[in-house]
Amino acid sequence: MVHRVSAEIGGLEFAIEMGKIAKQADGAAYVSYGDTVVLVAATASKQAKEGQDFFPLTVDYREANYAAGKIPGGFFKREGKMTEKETLTSRLIDRPLRPLFPEGYSNETQIVAMVLSHDKDNDPDIMSITGASAAAYCSPIPFYNPIGAVRIGYMNDEFVVNPPISKLKESSLNLTVVGTKDAIVMVEATANEVSEAMMVDALDFAHGIIQKLIELQQEMYAQVQPVKKEVVKPELDAAEVERIEKEYSRKISDALHIKEKLASYQQLDVIENEIIEAIPEEETERRSQAGKIFHTVMENIFRNETLQDKKRPDGRQFNEIRPISAEVSLLPRTHGSALFTRGETQALVTATLGTADDEQRMDTLEGESFKRFILHYNFPPFSVGEVKFMRGPGRREIGHGALAERSILPVMPTEDENFPYTVRVVSDIMESNGSSSMATVCGGILALMDAGVPIKAPVAGVAMGLVKEGDNYAILTDIAGAEDHYGDMDFKVAGTEKGITGLQMDIKIGGIDKKIMAEALEQAREGRLFILKKMTECLEAARPEISEYAPRIITITIPKDKIGGVIGPGGKIIRGIIEQTGVKIDIDDDGKVNIASTDTDSAQSAIRMIEDLIMEAEVGKTYLGTVTRLVDFGAFVEIFPGTEGLLHISEVADFRVQDINSELKLGDQIPVKVLSIEPPNKIRLSRKAVLREQAGLPPEEPSPRPPRRDRTDRNRSGYRRDDRSRSRPRGDRGSNPRGRY
């Protein structure tokens, strides 16, 4: 049986349909919004693997090219590995869903979102989050708390629900909010320095829309009436918990308060092994529970000390930031470099300037686009003292890099601001104990300023945490690894002195309300301003000149109708200039030409060559030309590359010239004056006029031309063309049939 529910969201119908497609999945939601359609299927294995004590959730979001009427590029003509957009959207779906599955549920679960139709205005990523919730909620899978997702923009002094993709560039805010009926569970945003108060208002506005999406799913649930799988929450032996708390709480607390991360972790491992080894080997059940009890006790100690004793593991105040140090220009041949250290988190960040050839080409369902600012984040295993295989970037690395990129992008100079460079920032995490993505933001800004990139304002980032039990809560600034792991929120905020540029929040509990959100944002603002001050102590502003090793890009503009002449047939002319000068040249359709070179003389030489190609002859102006062809009636002279004029034999000298070869030879360079330019581009030249000027003689008066014979009314025989009765007979056409043709 097919079930369908719908509601008006942002001026369009948001519809969910179930029971028609993918009926063998546990739950499948066919979601449509405008002409964009996404199918989201949720499936779970029937039994959990024996001994498995974690929740194996996999989320895969895929965009089919046919959805936008496109055929994939490349040799194989089929979709390949996940694109960056698909990876980020998979994370976007996973992050709010995962914490809402019940504790103790460990069946392998997969959610697959497939974009089936894309109208290029309504982004399927937001639809997929709500669709994933509907598919899991209206299925036997034990997912009891549905979520909804909405995108909020800000244009013309008002919030806009799910703004079209084409309009997002005009918006000062691109905010994704996910929530349950009662609270917000995930936030992701890029903003043009918006205030904390405006962000809180946007979140509150978004939650009102989300509740409509929750009601839709509840309506669908009532129609489908799924029979949910029961989950038994694992219970720990209360007596064993009490024993371990009594015997080891002091040791665990002391280990948690060791400030050095590795030393703290090492001591905690010693305590855990001690607890397990104290249990006889034959008591396997007690041994298997001992590790879980140890981590439960450790979490309880952390949370109690934070909420009751108002004490953090490293002894800091709730709003205190770890010691910060920063250094720039430490790598001699990079265009810009910075080493940013906050506590035990350290990022080595470089900035590289390139040309338009280095732009990243993005081929998405919305069409082809180009990225001029690229940020890549790397997390080598040694940064946390581990040994692992180093392969391509994982989902976490792609996600952290995207967050840092979004946070810096609003302050990057644009091409319209006379900054034609492509910029790549690379962050290599050298050490990690919490918030390496925000260290990337801080180090990235310093590296950009060190490279001489004229950013609009410095940006700093800070990670906030939350510990909450009932109405009692603590907001923590600059969280370390343990606070992130055992806390209830990971809230990253980046921005300038004026406002927020990037934001990402993940909640591990049911959600947080407006009051806590406002407090967290204000505390983050104070922390951000403190970090910005430390950064400006290292480097106050962008260097006045770009690095000596970066290419100098000089921009000139040529007429559009001259572009073909500069490029030449098959690119022959432009390639010749590049080969001769060693520069890079990019020509836009609007006539803008960027010449890039580390050698200023080479760039100027290329500019002169281009200017020669686009020069236009001027009547009355004298040029030093080269004889390129000799004919009986004169010579053709090239006055500048690609432009020739006719030097008639009567204009060669101040006397009668019988033979052109007696006066000129191929390759001769002679001064000539432009007498006239006749359409389309016939140029008449004179050497005689130049010679007379050099001799101090007055210009020769042009001899009057005889009046042209009026051939309009009469033919050569003197008869009028339209007087056929007086024209000469042309023979008997009747006797010559071929005359008809």
Q: Give 542-566 pLDDT, tens digit per residue.
A: 999 999 899 988 888 888 888 888 8
The pLDDT tens digits for 439-474 are 999 999 999 999 999 999 999 999 999 999 988 999
Instruction: Name, in order, each residue with C-beta under 8 angstroms of 728's C-beta and a sequence gap of 6 or more.
Output: 717
Model-level pTM? 0.83
Helices (H), 451-599: 481-486, 514-538, 563-567, 572-581
Q: Phi and psi dihedrals of 204, rounded to 5?
A: -65, -40
Are 484 and 335 part of one and the same domain? yes
Are 69 and 131 part of one and the same domain? yes
Instruction: Reply yes or no on whether the pLDDT at 708 is more than 70.
Output: no
Q: In a 3-state reduction of DSSP, which class is residue 540?
A: coil
Domain end residue (candidates: 307, 333, 366):
307
The pLDDT tens digits for 621-644 are 998 999 999 999 999 999 887 788
Instruction: Reply yes or no on whether the pLDDT at 590 is more than 90.
Output: no
- pLDDT-based confidence at residue 422 (cuts at 50, 70, 90): very high
What's the pLDDT at 723? 44
Distance between CA atoms of 543 and 450, rounded to whole angstroms? 6
* Stretch 581-592: mean pLDDT: 89
Instruction: Reply yes or no on whether the pLDDT at 713 is more than 50.
Output: no
Within-domain flag for 167 = yes
Within-domain flag for 313 = no
Greater model confidence, 16 or 714: 16
Are 429 and 530 part of one and the same domain? yes
What's the pLDDT at 77? 86
Instruction: Reply yes or no on whether the pLDDT at 702 is more than 90.
Output: no
What number of CA atoms fall less than 13 Å from residue 622's CA on the CB side? 12
* Stretch 695-700: mean pLDDT: 82
- pLDDT-based confidence at residue 709 (cuts at 50, 70, 90): low
Residues 162/56, Cβ–Cβ less than 8 Å: no
Are 610 and 626 part of one and the same domain? no
Instruction: Name, in order, each residue with C-beta under 8 angstroms of 513's C-beta and a sequence gap of 6 or more.
Output: 183
* Stretch 522-543: mean pLDDT: 96
* Structural domain containing residue 512: 324-538
Domain end residue (candidates: 563, 586, 614):
614
Residues 536/469, Cβ–Cβ less than 8 Å: no
Number of separate domains in the chain: 5
Lowest mean pLDDT among 431-435, 488-492, 585-589, 736-740: 736-740
Which residue is listed with tokens 């960056």?
84
Instruction: Reply yes or no on whether the pLDDT at 508 is more than 80.
Output: yes
Which residue is listed with tokens 């299927």?
41
Are 654 and 690 part of one and the same domain? yes
Domain end residue (candidates: 256, 280, 307):
307
Are 61 and 133 part of one and the same domain? yes
Q: What are 173's strand-pairing partners?
A: 191
Rg (CA), the chain: 38
Are 457 and 416 part of one and the same domain? yes
3-state helix/strand/coil string of 352-365: EEECHHHCEEEEEC
CATH of the domain at 30: 3.30.230.70
Q: pLDDT over 90 for what percent of the chain?
A: 67
What's the pLDDT at 617? 83
CATH of the domain at 275: 1.10.10
Distance between CA atoms of 582 and 363, rounded to whole angstroms? 31
What's the pLDDT at 701? 63
